[in-house]
Amino acid sequence: MLDLANRLFEAPITHQNFIAGVFNGAADGGVIQRESPAHGRLVGTYPASTRADAEAAITAARDSFDAGHWAFEYGGERARVLRDVARLIRQNAEELALVETLETSKPLDAARGEVMFAAELWDYAAGAARMLSGDSHNTLGQSMLGLVLREPIGVVGIITPWNFPLLILSERLPFALAAGCSVVVKPSEFTSGTALMLARYLKQAGLPDGVCNIIAGTGDPVGQAIIDSNDVDMVAFTGSTRVGRATIAASAGNIKKLSLELGGKSPSLVFADCDLDAAVDGVIKAATINMGECCIAGSRLLVEARIAEAFQNRLAERLEDLRMGDPLDPASRIGAIINQAQYDRISELVRDGVREGADIVCGGDPENHSGLFYPPTVLANVTPDMCVAREEIFGPVLSVMSFKTADEAIRLANDSDFGLAAYVWTNDLSTALACSRRIRAGRVWVNSALQGFPELPLGGFKQSGNGRETGRYGVEEYTELKSVHLQVGRQSERWVEGA
């Protein structure tokens, strides 16, 4: 793997757009160069697509959908294509994982796991393509049969972020394709490599030209063109709540459907009766996975008061063993932050927390580390009104608060504009169920952290977004319902008398 990494450093991959089944650069020849955050070396070049490129991709998707070949294809044939893509992802897993590691700086083992889970999502969507169905009503009288048809919504724009490039795309794209939609994909301009590589597998698997188009570029003009277009029927956007609001406003132009997975400030609730060793490990995992650059990161620690001090001390001790360094090193669990702007934002929010009265238990000393490596940081004596308790930091920073009762813990957990995920650590079944039912979040993990399954839906409450991805719900998200009123036999009554 190191040999392959060195070859990529010496000869970075030049990626191309995929429009109407053809691979090309940007119309004006513009490019985006991507350096590895951990190594500071060029690792890939993407097209800097223009609005004209975006419009060409949208036109290709629109034409393919309106032609109806994929939209009304036998579900078994759609399943075959999706299964072949899953096979090709597995076949090329090492190269995909390496590109993700170099572009994002996530540890290589983590990237491998994400690539293999992405393949599972494509496999699951393949099965769902055969299962999608509508309904019938045989109780409308002798002369009327009612049919409910579930049809693909049309052209879907999928705009994905930089933190889990292939995984987040695979939580959406295969489900849209399973439903029969045509798609335009815009990956983040920081981590476009694996999305553009995926285009090759779609082509090899036999996906008809124009059904999926993948173009690299910045939010303006490419993302904006997708959101503005009257030929795009739905947009699935994953990113910040700020950009999500702008997407909602722009979608008013043609009342397009939106599926939004936005920001998070997820709580980890730790009760005194839990398995403390498991809870410490799980809290660290939820807070620091992917360098904390994770929308479902457990960045708020709510711990029962009688164990709060001991628990945060154990956290600090265990964090000393969490290796931060080169993501190509198998021992590393923490890589570099995605770019300088994000690194500076993390540093500023930690400084704001200290100014507001929080205490640093560990970490918070980036000046002792070179490059874009930010150390895992625990802030104690945090109050719910502080910025570190309310704003999404998107870095390996954990804010600690305490509670005395389960009701207080649930109230603190819900005291947020966000509602994407939550983590509960307790050995009391009643407590676990009460928290699971009363916390307003799209996903709740009990005595575990971040395990994912294609069968289960994901999505957010409140300002964390709307809509659901993955599972059977994820396929249904990309469909519309149509009622058919079918007259059986000759009508006995006429609207116009004597007819």
Known catalytic residues are: 261, 295
Q: How far apart are CA 182 and CA 266, in angstroms?
A: 34
Cβ atoms 161, 239 nearer than 8 A: yes
E strand or H helix at 128, and its extent?
A: helix 108-131
- The conformation of residue 472, written as its DSSP 8-state character, comes to H
Q: How far apart are CA 266 and CA 251, in angstroms?
A: 28
Count of alpha carbons within 13 angstroms of residue 246, beta-carbon side:
12
The structure tokens listed for 413 are 């957990």
Residue 498: CB atoms within 10 A of its CB come to 4
Q: How far apart are CA 287 and CA 363, in angstroms?
A: 13
Question: What Å distances lie between residue 130 and 75, 89, 126, 156, 377, CA to CA?
Answer: 5, 21, 7, 20, 47
What stretches of 101-159 adopt beta strand conformation (E)? 135-137, 144-152, 155-159
Gap between the terminal Cα atoms of the chain:
80
The structure tokens listed for 317 are 């001790």
Question: What Å distances lie between residue 323 and 251, 326, 327, CA to CA?
Answer: 44, 9, 10
Q: How many residues does the chain have?
A: 499
Residue whose structure tokens are 């503005």: 228
The structure tokens listed for 90 are 């597995």
